[in-house]
């Protein structure tokens, strides 16, 4: 038996996106088991991955279930060092772990005002001051990482996408989806994700998963989804 990953709706479940990208970017084979949020289907999925309580949840080949995305990331990095999920340089790796941890624990205002929705992009969403503060902190972290370690490529730590990038992928999606105000450097990083083959494949699959989830609907003017490759 190989790896099995439990995920929610691809269009809405930001942590599921992170979990799946760990496999996609690491070149690690995985079978996904999905369940629609807010229905019995999702409850059945979690029951099958108990004692995990949230998605993503990972069943190892041994049958052991691992919850929490940071734990999944560290488990895969340990088992598959060839995947290069963390930067090879020790200082870059330390900063990448800092960024991933801060993303895992913080930015509640952004998460609440702008839940990930890969099916729509709004012209504006009137972000309150707390959301703007979150964006400023995110931009500062991105700029710091790229200035110190990112000279060789478009990702935060250079040419290779790392766990830190993966943890910020849904933030890039929120900036695109809610047309949030960021500077040119941050927008370029967002566009890196919008053009990424794995991200685009995930978003396309999500568009085919059934009707929109009413919980995520917002009464704001809609614009086309931004596409840097168009």
**pLDDT at residue 8, as a whole number:** 97
**Does 4 have pLDDT greater than 80?**
yes
49's tokens = 């991955």
pLDDT for the residue numbered 123 = 97
Angle, helices 90-105 vs 69-79, to 10°: value is 150
Looking at the predicted structure, is the pLDDT value of residue 70 above 90? yes
Specify the pTM. Answer: 0.97
Average pLDDT, the chain: 97
**pLDDT higher than threshold 90 for residue 220:** yes
pLDDT tens, residue by residue, 13-65: 999 999 999 999 999 999 999 999 999 999 999 999 999 999 999 999 999 99
Q: Per residue in 96-140, pLDDT tens? A: 999 999 999 999 999 999 999 999 999 999 999 999 999 999 999
Looking at residue 53, its pLDDT comes to: 94
Domain 4-82 has what CATH class?
Answer: alpha beta
80 phi, psi to nearest 5 deg:
-130, 70
Range with lowest mean pLDDT among 9-13, 38-42, 152-156, 199-203: 38-42
> How large is the average pLDDT for residues 133-155?
97
CATH code that applies to domain 90-214:
1.20.1050.10
Q: How far apart are CA 5 and CA 60, in angstroms?
A: 9
Mean per-residue pLDDT, 152-180: 98
Q: Work out the number of other CB atoms within 10 angstroms of the CB of residue 185.
A: 13
* 72: pLDDT strictly greater than 80: yes
The per-residue pLDDT for 186 is 98
Q: Where are the domains of the chain?
A: 4-82, 90-214
* pLDDT of 149 above 90: yes
Distance CA 6, CA 31 (A): 9
- Kindly report the backbone phi and psi dihedral angles of residue 227, in degrees, each rounded to the nearest multiple of 5, phi listed first: -135, 105
Whether the predicted pLDDT of 11 surpasses 90:
yes
Q: For residues 16 and 7, is the Cβ–Cβ distance under 8 A?
A: yes
Q: Looking at residue 1, what is its pLDDT?
A: 77
């Amino acid at each position: 038996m190989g790896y099995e990953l439990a995920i929610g709706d691809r269009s809405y479940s930001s942590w599921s996106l992170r979990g799946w990208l760990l496999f996609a970017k690491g070149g690690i084979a995985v079978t996904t088991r999905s369940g629609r949020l807010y229905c019995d289907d999702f409850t059945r999925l979690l029951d099958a991955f108990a004692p995990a309580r949230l998605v993503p949840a990972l069943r190892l080949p041994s049958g052991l279930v691992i919850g929490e995305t940071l734990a999944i990331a560290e488990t895969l990095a340990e088992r598959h060092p060839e995947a290069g999920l963390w930067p090879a340089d020790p200082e870059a790796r330390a900063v990448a772990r800092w960024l991933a941890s801060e993303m895992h624990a913080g930015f509640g205002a952004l998460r609440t005002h702008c839940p990930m929705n890969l099916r729509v992009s709004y012209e504006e969403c009137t972000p309150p001051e707390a959301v703007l503060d979150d964006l400023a902190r995110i931009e500062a972290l991105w700029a710091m990482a790229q200035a110190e370690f990112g000279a060789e490529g478009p990702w935060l730590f250079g040419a290779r996408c790392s766990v830190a990038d993966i943890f910020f992928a849904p933030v890039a999606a929120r900036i695109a989806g809610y047309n949030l105000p960021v500077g040119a450097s941050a927008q370029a990083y967002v566009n890196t994700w919008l053009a990424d083959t794995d991200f685009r494949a995930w978003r396309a699959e999500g568009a085919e998963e059934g009707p929109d989830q009413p919980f995520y609907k917002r009464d704001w003017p809609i614009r086309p989804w931004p596409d840097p490759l168009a």
